[in-house]
Amino acid sequence: IKKIGVFTSGGDAPGMNACIRAVVRTAIHDGLEVVGIRQGYQGMLESNFWDMSARDVGNIIHIGGTILKTARCLEFKTPEGTKKAYDNLRSYGIDALVAIGGDGTANGASRLSLTHGIPVMCIPGTIDNDLYGSDFTLGFDTATNTVIEAIDKIRDTAASHNRLFFIEVMGRDSGCIALRAGIAGGSEAVLLPERDTAIDELIEKLSSHANNHKSSSIVIVAEGDKNGGAYHVAERVKEKFDFYDSKVTILGHLQRGGSPSSFDRVLASRLGFAAVRALLNGKDRQMVGLRGNAIVLTPLEEALHFSHFKLEDDLLEMINVLSI
């Protein structure tokens, strides 16, 4: 391997820049050339390449988003699109790839490697924390901290007015942000895509809290909750339970931005460093992740085969216990 390509793809996540920095500098340190591919697979189709130096990744470790930009690209998924991307990579002399993104990104990298033989390493970069092969994905810690900061502020006003707040957080298929934010933000209930929570059950819980002299409550609703989102849940609760004045806050895209936490910066650096070293050691088609406190490689087939919802049983139980 002489020249590696690095790209970010799918949804952006805080920590991607720190990871790009680690990939670029490890590669240069180890005698490789590095090409940044802008806008993920779209950039491969357009040969949107950037010969990167160690200085190009200076002063980005603390910045959210991704300097390489990201995109979703349907054309790449076709056999012709995949071949065109590969041909463009080869004609630029790129002979291995580091992909930073979610499961779609890893699927695309897997396809490139399987159909055309280019070695790939995937780094789990998504705020959703829903990838197998790593206990934590890049951006999840920062996004959860952002949510907690918002909950804390909402709590001040909720407590001052005897209010019931429904706060909708990101997570179409994964309740990881909602559950952690629910625990760390001291919320009364959490509605998750992985679990069916009946509205009556929620009302019963809120009533018992009210009977226990709670003057305000915070309910975290993951956007993928099967009841249809925070507005819908609030409407339905209000029909039967109007002890509190209720309000809805949708946190939306602010959860994606911001300076990465120290945890995400260190994780990004470790994963980027390990991905380059793994390529140099002849590895291919692996997800680079953190398990326990160790960096581990998981074959992409295995990583993509398992849908992995990391909802810890103790956290699920604790929501009920600690909110009495």
* Active-site residue set: 128
When asked if residue 108 is in the footprint of ligand ATP (CB under 6 A), the reply is yes
* Smallest distance from ligand ATP to CB 58, Å: 26
When asked if residue 289 is in the footprint of ligand ATP (CB under 6 A), the reply is no
When asked if residue 101 is in the footprint of ligand ATP (CB under 6 A), the reply is yes
When asked if residue 11 is in the footprint of ligand ATP (CB under 6 A), the reply is yes
Q: Any binding-site annotation on 215? A: yes
Nearer to ligand ATP, 106 or 189 (CB): 106
* Smallest distance from ligand ATP to CB 140, Å: 11
Nearer to ligand ATP, 73 or 151 (CB): 73
Name the segment binding ligand ATP (CB under 6 A); options: 29-37, 95-103, 176-184, 223-231: 95-103
Nearer to ligand ATP, 40 or 185 (CB): 40
* Smallest distance from ligand ATP to CB 8, Å: 9
Using CB under 6 A, pick the residue from 5, 10, 182, 229 that binds ligand ATP. 10
Please list every residue from 231 through 260 that binds ligand ATP, using CB under 6 A: none
When asked if residue 44 is in the footprint of ligand ATP (CB under 6 A), the reply is no
Kindly give, in sequence order, each residue whose CB lies less than 8 Å from that of residue 262, ignoring residues fewer than 6 positions away: none
Binding mask 118-137 for ligand ATP (x = CB under 6 A): --------x-x---------
Name the binding residues for ADP: 21-25, 155, 186-188, 214-216
